[in-house]
Structure 1
Amino acid sequence: MTTTMVITQPQPVMYSRDSDQWGSGICDFCDNLPECCFGYWCHWCFACMKTKEYGECLCLPLLDMCGIVPPITLSMRVSMRNRYGIKGNICDDCLMATCCRLCVWCQMSREMRERANQVTLVGARVV
């Protein structure tokens, strides 16, 4: 008689109370008027700061200066949708990034602030 022992590790489960929609509309400037004014008057500084806050290279938005469709704004919006589980499609992202670049950066900034999760360690020991 052989005994088989099966050991399974518990898998982490993350429950999200956040919606699968953007937390604010593309034109909700009044949600944070000082931030949107900063984004309007000093767009490149604002975009670089938000990119760094998101965890990407600080100077990445400067690549948006070339071309009609801003590739970094577009890729940041798509990445944010994927990270936060926001429904949408690449066509809408491309249209928004091309026609409303400043509004898109302000919306992404509001979204990062709303969805910032604090990490709580339960049962952790300090050594």
Structure 2
Amino acid sequence: MAEQQPTNWSSELLDCFEDTNTCCYGFWCAPFLACTVSGRLGEWYFLPLCDALTGCTSLFCSVPTCIPPAALSLRVAIRKKYGIKGSHLKDMAATCCCSWCAWCQMHRELKRRTQVPVVINLQSQTTVNMQPPVFVGGMQPFPVMMMPPQTS
């Protein structure tokens, strides 16, 4: 298996105004943004709320009182998954000193790295968004056979 070259984050920690939608989402609904990041990464959707329950992060103002373990683990997971340069020390500093900015940066990264592919049918001039499959309860559904359109 070929090892991928380390890359940088697609945006810096304080680049909130690069994606104002994420910035507003994180500012007004920080717990929901954190849960969205966890869900997009394929982890338990409510994992970030464990930081609030353990007292590491205030649920509303996102001010940490210690290093939030869920935020740190998700940040490290994103770095490892996409081969992003960094260290555990930098991840700890980001999640502890500016957890809101760290969540926004992780959200921006996942938005850029997990773009939904678009298929354009040139014959009928239609656009189809290819959505990833949703597995309910961890069970994979039966495969669906796609038949080519019938020509008359």
Counterpart in the other structure of 1:27: 14
Structure with bigger gyration radius? 1
Provide the rounded CA distance (Å) in 2 between the counterparts of 1:14 and 1:50.
27
Out of 84, 87, 101, the residue aligned to residue 86 of structure 1 is 84
Which residue does 1:58 correspond to in 2? 45
Alignment partners' CA distance in 1, 2:49 and 2:30: 10
Q: How many residues align?
A: 110
- Alignment match of 1:108 (pick from 106, 109, 112): 106
Scaled by the length of structure 2, what TM-score is found?
Answer: 0.64
- CA separation of 1:38 and 1:117: change in aligned 2, threshold 3 A: closer
Aligned to 2:23: 36
Is 1:95 the counterpart of 2:93? The answer is: yes
Query: Root-mean-square deviation (CA), in Å?
Result: 2.6
Q: Do 2:22 and 2:108's aligned partners in 1 also have CA atoms closer than 8 Å?
A: no
Higher strand proportion: 2
User: What's the CA shift for 1:41?
Assistant: 1.4
- Tell me which amino acid in the other structure corresponds to 1:63: C
Instruction: Tell me which protein shows more helix as a share of its residues.
Output: 1
Q: Percent identity?
A: 36
Structure 2, unmatched stretches of 5+, are: 57-65, 118-144, 148-152
Structure with the bigger RCO (C-alpha within 8 Å, sep 6+) is 1
Q: Which ranges of 4 or more aligned residues in structure 1 deviate by more than 6 Å?
A: 13-16
Distance 1:44 1:117 in 2: 23
- Alpha-carbon shift at residue 114 of structure 1 (Å): 1.4
- Structure 1: gaps (5+ residues): 1-12, 120-124
State the distance in 1 between where 2:6 and 2:108 align: 14
Whether the aligned pair in 1 keeps the contact of 2:31 and 2:48 (CA below 8 Å) is yes
The one-letter amino acid paired with 2:23 is C
Please tell me the residue identity of whatever aligns with 1:89.
Answer: S
User: Partner letter of residue 42 of structure 1?
Assistant: C
Matched to 1:29, the amino acid is C
Question: The residue matched to 2:11 in structure 1 has which SS?
Answer: coil
CA distance in structure 2 between the partners assigned to 1:56 and 1:78 by the alignment: 13
